[in-house]
Structure 1
Amino acid sequence: MNQSNRIVQGIHHLHFYLWDLPRWQEHFCQVWGFRMEGQLGSTLCLRQGSLRLRLSQPAHAGDEVDRYLQQHSPGVVDVALAVVEQELLGLAELLQRRGAQVEWIPAEEEGGPTLRLRTPYGLRHSLLPGSGIPDSAPAEENLFSHWDHLVLNVEQGSLQAAADWYEQVLGWRSLYRYSIRTNTSGLESVVVGDPEAGIQLAINEPTCAASQIQEFLDAHHGPGLQHAALHSSDVFASVRRLRQGGVNFLQVPPEYYTNLARELASGAILRSGGLPPAISWHDLVEQQLLLDATLPASDSPHPPLLLQTFTQPLFGRPTFFFEVIQRLGGATGFGEANFQALFEALERQQRQRQQALVC
């Protein structure tokens, strides 16, 4: 066993537990661009390039999926991680020494030898060998290239313990932290991950009962994966296709674009005083995309730009949703400059649902 702290090669798949499996298979394939890769028992395996999904519904009353859905909202129960197959046995011993709860899963259940970790924070992590057989479909047919990042919501007071778990058990690093405050709400976040493996996990906790993070925890009945960000090489085309397929996105308040136009004109966020030629202001507003731009270190024609948007929750309750994101010019971060606008937009939706509380 390699004694390095780095044990994960990347994200293998996300496993959803949900009702009405045929409907969601059709939705992910026809709208989101996934293709059927196979089946493990009653679980469907979908793929798009390096992205994999597994979808399960209850096979009978009282089974594992049914018990989960009786307690929680539909969503991601397992963020499976790719590891080196030859190191699975040594990895099990290492993780147990690090205090993890480890179990072996029958090969027929996951398609090969698999370890499973259960976290105290609403997720499990199956550890599977490598990335497997390359996708046979041409890359240009894919809407998305990879998982950009994932976001986990935990109970207030659990943030640091959750970050410590990922650092101590999986050897991930704490990358940075941030906080958001509005007049009535807020969140604290720590980002952990392994940049070499392409993994970033933001862990959020609410600052008060009115926080939209707390709304998720209440609706989901506990901690869990709030959203997954899909990276697109052409976010405008991807979002346009998703809208045509019936996907609903978060409504961005008009004042966001008023303020953005003012900042662009003043050169506060781009020295050129305007958007690069590749980005259309009309398309930005029409597709309701958020733009995070930072001043480059020099007069580079390619400043770091991050474009992003967020779907409405997929399963009816204010729980799991997707983010669509594109990074240009080496942009990093999660669009912190957009978070205030995003958080305020989410709070407006809370008020519309008449679920907002007073801190």
Structure 2
Amino acid sequence: MAARLTRLHHIALNVSNADKVSSDLVFKFKFRLFAARLIDGAKQLAFRKGAAVFIVNEAPSRSSGVRMNENLHITDSQPRDPPLVHVGKHSHGKCLYDFSAHYPVDTVNNVCFEVEDVERSCTALRQLGCDFMVPPTTVHDDCGYVTYSVVKSIVGNVLHTLIDRTKYRGSFLPGFDGVGNDLSVPETDTSCPITHFDHITYVCPKNTTHQVMRWYEKLFGFQRFFIDSDENVDEGFVINQEGIGLRLTAMEYWKCSKAGITLPSVDKNEPDCKFVIAESLSEQGRNQVDTFLEQHGAPGIQHIGLYTNNIVSTAHAMADAGVQFFSPPQAYYTQVGKRQEIEEAGHNPQMLAKHGILLDLSREPSSPPASSENRGYLLQVFTKPIFAEDTFFLELIERRGAKGFGEGNIRALWRSVQAHMEKQEGDSQGEESHKTVQTSQY
């Protein structure tokens, strides 16, 4: 590997209306605004829930002429001494820790990793032909120094900020002002016990998964992670029947894959995050992966899994706040064996059905057979899209001894999303034919 990643620091959203997205994150998804950078030409807002941190960047308009960090964009591959930038409260610099020209739709465009040494990592990445949007740059304020660089990934508009904040003693990053309570104060909201990002899912064009996997393995040391015990090493996890055409392949960047996902411990502040690549198998006809590629205009991040210790409580609190979830047909909860599985896991089928929560017993690769009483299980539910387009959404996930992703859940989630999009398409066609305006679902 060229760059040694230590942890996922934050995920950035690039949107046209930061106030709208910020309001949803706070009031619907129960995140807390804890830091902000509001200056001419840039609005950056940071939100936290457990170890999960989103930065919302308001995208500059086409007419403003403002581009994030455009003065730092380089095209040559020669190492340079990192420029030193002071970012005080009255600094008029552009958007920090990111790079993004105007994008036609709202998008999740940056996954930021902490690294051991930004300059050394960038030197190694340059030698592998990696494209840099922002060269190594050091910013500082009264609390210390942070060095970062922005790398272009192989997936559409996805960027990776590499950051070293070991010499910074502030609560977040230079240039941001704290908002509300200090980060050392525990969160009081126990109704939504979200602890961290569980996984990030990319949507990519057909037959590009292996190229993406090789890029992340070569540059960042990612390793293959098997989603299900039936997964084919070369083909990935394929569901190509009953109207579903989907290929999923997963990778991870941490070095303790044998231990599975663990929650924060004394010697490890945050667990690491899996990356999943989704491809459409077009033989089954147009589907949600194709819709993403069309409406997003390029490969990119389709959804992010938020880990919760109590998915029932979390989904209930979010639904009360206005979050809409995809729901499978009611028959899912009454099919042969499913009700028994749910009850044996200690859950009420009616309670799960209320918010469309799915439960699947795990079938971990290389694990011995186990009865339903002692096997791990997985609980999942998808929100409906949070942007205007059918592109990005969030997932709630709770793991009880399951490290992968349940096949039954994948099938049910796929069908529920597909049914929603087909209804949306039908409504849109109805509007055109009858010249009527119908109320949007979200």
TM-score by length of 1: 0.85
Partner of 1:81: 113
Partner of 1:32: 29
Q: In the aligned structure 2, how far is the partner of 1:211 from the partner of 1:258?
A: 26
Contact 1:188-1:206 at 8 Å conserved across structures: yes
- Aligned positions of 1:257-296 closer than 5 A: 257-259=333-335, 262-264=336-338, 270=341, 274-277=343-346, 279-294=347-362
Secondary structure in 1 matching 2:8? strand
Secondary structure in 2 matching 1:121? coil
Q: Does 1:161 align with 2:196?
A: no
Contact 2:344-2:373 at 8 Å conserved across structures: no
Which amino acid is 2:354 matched to? E
Q: Which of 205, 211, 232 is 2:279 aligned to?
A: 205
Q: In the aligned structure 2, how far is the partner of 1:76 from the partner of 1:109?
A: 26
Alignment CA distance shift 1:48-1:351 (3 Å): closer
Q: Does 1:23 align with 2:20?
A: yes
Q: In the aligned structure 2, how far is the partner of 1:307 from the partner of 1:166?
A: 28
Q: Which of 210, 221, 227 is 1:171 aligned to?
A: 221
Q: In the aligned structure 1, how far is the partner of 2:221 from the partner of 2:372?
A: 36
Partner of 1:230: 306
Secondary structure in 1 matching 2:276? strand
CA deviation map 1:3-35 (0-9, x unaligned): x77711221111001122122222212222222
Q: In the aligned structure 1, how far is the partner of 2:120 from the partner of 2:287?
A: 42
- Aligned positions of 1:205-354 closer than 5 A: 205-208=279-282, 210-259=286-335, 262-264=336-338, 270=341, 274-277=343-346, 279-294=347-362, 297-298=369-370, 302-328=374-400, 330-354=401-425
Q: In the aligned structure 2, how far is the partner of 1:274 from the partner of 1:58?
A: 47
Secondary structure in 1 matching 2:5? coil
Which amino acid is 2:135 matched to? W
Shift of 1:69: 8.2
Root mean square deviation of aligned Cα: 2.9
Contact 2:380-2:409 at 8 Å conserved across structures: no
Shift of 1:280: 1.9
Partner of 1:104: 135
Q: In the aligned structure 1, how far is the partner of 2:217 from the partner of 2:337?
A: 38
Contact 2:16-2:59 at 8 Å conserved across structures: yes
Which amino acid is 1:314 matched to? I
Q: In the aligned structure 1, how far is the partner of 2:332 from the partner of 2:371?
A: 26
State which drifts further: 150-159 or 68-77. Answer: 68-77
Partner of 1:12: 9
TM-score by length of 2: 0.70
Shift of 1:128: 1.3
Alignment CA distance shift 1:71-1:35 (3 Å): closer
Q: Does 1:124 align with 2:124?
A: no
Shift of 1:189: 1.9
Q: In the aligned structure 1, how far is the partner of 2:205 from the partner of 2:372?
A: 43
Q: Which has the higher helix share?
A: 1
Q: In the aligned structure 1, how far is the partner of 2:12 from the partner of 2:100?
A: 13
Contact 1:99-1:169 at 8 Å conserved across structures: no
Secondary structure in 1 matching 2:247? strand
Unaligned 5+ segments in structure 1 are: none
Which amino acid is 2:398 matched to? Q
Q: Does 1:91 align with 2:121?
A: yes
Q: In the aligned structure 2, how far is the partner of 1:230 from the partner of 1:165?
A: 25
CA deviation map 1:87-106 (0-9, x unaligned): 22211112222332234254
Contact 2:111-2:160 at 8 Å conserved across structures: yes
Seq. identity, %: 22
Secondary structure in 2 matching 1:167? helix
Contact 1:173-1:192 at 8 Å conserved across structures: yes
Q: In the aligned structure 2, how far is the partner of 1:334 from the partner of 1:73?
A: 29
Secondary structure in 2 matching 1:77? strand
Secondary structure in 2 matching 1:28? helix
CA deviation map 1:203-224 (0-9, x unaligned): 1121116121111000101111
CA deviation map 1:75-95 (0-9, x unaligned): 2110111222xx222111122
Contact 1:314-1:321 at 8 Å conserved across structures: yes
State which drifts further: 248-257 or 125-134. Answer: 125-134
Shift of 1:59: 4.0
Partner of 2:248: 189
Which amino acid is 1:203 matched to? I
Alignment CA distance shift 1:281-1:242 (3 Å): same
Q: Does 1:138 align with 2:186?
A: yes
Which amino acid is 1:75 matched to? T
Contact 2:110-2:159 at 8 Å conserved across structures: yes
Contact 1:189-1:203 at 8 Å conserved across structures: yes
